[in-house]
Structure 1
């Protein structure tokens, strides 16, 4: 099998956009899901507008994808942080990010599973976070990103007999819009954090993309249920972020 179709949530910018372009270069068909279209085009790229915080919108898009595409790769990359201290956190933060980070992934996978099982091949990936290990002001974000790891391990067990792998990439501080939404670009705080990372720098989008490409590769079918921290070593010791 050489024809692959990848669905990438949040494929319009940052890590998702970089991964989409790398897969297009490898002749994949790519479907991106986000509230805004990517700023690049390709004959094998299709974008579908979708607010992943809205369960009904996700179900509608999932039904459309399931009817029109034989999905081989599902990359749940979309995410937001919603940082706040415990005193300011709300239960709705948790339910909202659970829908975005977990519920939408379930709905999209359910639409893709019939084609994956029929081919006895599939690659499912999550973009989690080093914050799954704990980070200040990340009550809802940390909980839902940690949930991705547990859900991926469960799915890996269920789907392994069908030739479908499920893995997680957990980035540390990566210079994207999400990161700069918390730490101002070019600030002393950004420089200080870079100095405290064991490898001495912040991550770039392509650092994370290369990890996803490993899990995407059809040759890597003996790796499933795993979490790869792409974090410059910040998951090893104590590096407050």
Structure 2
């Protein structure tokens, strides 16, 4: 019996890698598209390379589960945010997600089943120096709601996850654990710790599960309580 297949973009490091590992433990066959070696190698900021990678991914069989994880931050004040940075953030954070959904929809519709998970961020609620990032992460929440409305009749759900501060290599590189800034972040989180990539992977598995078919168009903030009082009820 063929394993059910999950596509994870940007799945070779950080949160994406943790999601891939969790999916494999669950028994899914994982397909990864990333610029790093180990999966299907592609520069996802390039629309043509993305299309070729998706074509290659689907050669192995239908894919009915998708985690739109790849992304880029591009921190800068509004005065200093460049249009090139905005364009790159749009391409990686939003266009790739849309392109992946369009490529996988035939498989999902044929199966009368699909699970789409968009990796947003608590920064979608507002964060300094995040014009490009927050706008695209808010966009991933918006399109998840649109897809929930358009695709629900086909058994396809679409949801978003909004991670708070997560202890990945990139986060620690920018925010050393011993720094006062990082300690202030930890103190601001109600559970008094940084999140682990596994915390996000656990939420992704929840949305990807067969049993989550009555949950769609939702955003789950996995943030240790950081967004309490900020996110809409």
TM-score (norm 2): 0.94
Instruction: Identify which range, 182-191 or 69-78, moves more after superposition.
Output: 182-191
Instruction: Identify which range, 195-204 or 138-147, moves more after superposition.
Output: 195-204
Alpha-carbon separation, structure 1, partners of 2:97 and 2:61 = 17
Deviation string, structure 1 residues 158-210 (Cα, Å, up to 9, x no partner) = 11000010010100001113322432343222122101111211111111111
SS at match of 1:144: helix
Whether contact under 8 Å (1:81, 1:178) holds in the other structure is no
Deviation string, structure 1 residues 27-62 (Cα, Å, up to 9, x no partner) = 211011111135xxxxxxxx1001111111111112
Deviation string, structure 1 residues 84-133 (Cα, Å, up to 9, x no partner) = 11121112222211110111111111111111100101100011100000
Alpha-carbon separation, structure 2, partners of 1:201 and 1:185 = 11
2:190 paired residue number: 198
Q: 2:107 aligns with which of 115, 121, 126?
A: 115
Deviation string, structure 1 residues 124-152 (Cα, Å, up to 9, x no partner) = 00111000001000010000000000011
Alpha-carbon separation, structure 1, partners of 2:229 and 2:189 = 10
Pairing 1:85-124 to 2, within 5 Å after superposition: 85-124=77-116
Does residue 159 of structure 2 align to residue 167 of structure 1?
yes
Gaps of 5+ in 2: none
Gaps of 5+ in 1: 39-46
Whether contact under 8 Å (2:22, 2:202) holds in the other structure is no
Alpha-carbon separation, structure 2, partners of 1:186 and 1:55 = 40
1:59 paired residue number: 51
CA RMSD of aligned residues (A): 1.5
Aligned residues: 230
Q: 1:233 aligns with which of 218, 221, 225?
A: 225
Does residue 28 of structure 2 align to residue 8 of structure 1?
no
Whether contact under 8 Å (1:167, 1:226) holds in the other structure is yes
Shift of the 28–53 alpha-carbon distance from structure 1 to 2, 3 Å rule, reads same
Question: Runs of at least 4 residues of structure 1 off by over 4 A?
Answer: none
Whether contact under 8 Å (1:65, 1:111) holds in the other structure is no
Q: 2:64 aligns with which of 66, 72, 81?
A: 72
Alpha-carbon separation, structure 2, partners of 1:9 and 1:150 = 19
Deviation at 1:68, TM superposition (A): 3.3
Q: 2:181 aligns with which of 186, 189, 211?
A: 189
